[in-house]
């Protein structure tokens, strides 16, 4: 039997079916054994963000779809694109071929696109009740965003005079430009979220007062 006839009789030699095989002999004719798993970058992401999804959307220049995917996991990509230590990049297996993808750069660009193209909703839906969020750091702002999206009226209480918690008071400006944080806060206000600064819960306002004024309280 000729080599050509042998190849025709072996499906994987023509690339029809994936198969695992030792890399010996005519291994160059074999195709990879493809298994459906989470990509390494997504496994490394603390938010479990669907990185391949929004990367593909950006590749197709569908920025609205990229933001739609991103917002499910992270409402502030313009911020995290600046400050996250990005273990996703360390796990990017593209580096085994040439170089890793600039995931934080793309993430930041999606956030900047969203801020530049944000449109205020005509009437924010707040028919599910009112919730108080104590603390305006990353957890407080994130919970406020998702609660507002779900139809709740949200009021955020911050004991300092600046909104943002560690984003405003702990991270230096060269790492996180304050104009980016201010734009994100402005968007939250347009979404109907209220902010009360210089209010120390337990001192200026009691916890009992919060529970009497709001349906639920989230301590961030």
Residues forming a β-bridge with 157: 134, 196
In angstroms, rounded to a whole number, what is the distance separating the alpha carbons of residues 200 and 206? 9
In angstroms, rounded to a whole number, what is the distance separating the alpha carbons of residues 90 and 135? 32
Q: Confirm if 46 and 54 have CB atoms less than 8 A apart.
A: no
The per-residue pLDDT for 14 is 41
In angstroms, rounded to a whole number, what is the distance separating the alpha carbons of residues 147 and 168? 22
Q: Which residue has the higher pLDDT, 95 or 199?
A: 199
Q: Which two tokens stand for residue 33?
A: 């054994």
Residues 6+ apart with CB under 8 A from 130: 152, 153, 154, 155, 213, 214, 215
DSSP summary character for residue 54: H
The per-residue pLDDT for 213 is 95
Sheet of 216-219, strands arranged across: 194-196, 153-157, 130-134, 216-219
In the chain the first and final C-alpha atoms are separated, in Å, by 73
The per-residue pLDDT for 120 is 87
Mean pLDDT of the residues in the chain: 86
Q: Where residue 77 falls among pLDDT bands split at 50, 70, 90?
A: very high
């Amino acid at each position: 039997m000729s080599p050509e006839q042998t190849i025709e009789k072996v499906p994987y030699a023509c690339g029809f079916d994936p198969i695992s095989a030792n890399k010996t002999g005519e291994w160059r004719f074999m195709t990879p054994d493809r298994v459906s798993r989470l990509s390494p970058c997504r496994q490394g992401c603390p938010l479990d963000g669907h990185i391949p999804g929004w990367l593909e959307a950006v590749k197709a220049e569908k920025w609205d779809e990229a933001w739609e995917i991103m917002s499910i996991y992270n409402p502030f990509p313009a911020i995290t694109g600046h400050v996250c230590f990005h273990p996703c990049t360390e796990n990017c297996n593209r580096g085994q071929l040439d170089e890793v993808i600039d995931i934080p750069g793309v993430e930041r660009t999606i956030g900047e696109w969203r801020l530049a193209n944000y449109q205020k909703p005509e009437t924010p839906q707040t028919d599910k009740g009112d919730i108080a969020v104590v603390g305006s750091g990353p957890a407080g702002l994130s919970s406020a965003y998702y609660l507002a999206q779900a139809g709740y009226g949200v009021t955020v209480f911050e004991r300092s005079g600046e909104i943002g918690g560690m984003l405003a008071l702990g991270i230096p400006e060269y790492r996180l430009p304050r104009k980016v944080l201010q734009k994100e806060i402005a968007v939250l206000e347009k979404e109907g979220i209220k902010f009360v600064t210089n209010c120390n819960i337990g001192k200026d306002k009691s916890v009992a007062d919060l529970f009497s004024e709001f349906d639920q309280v989230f301590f961030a």
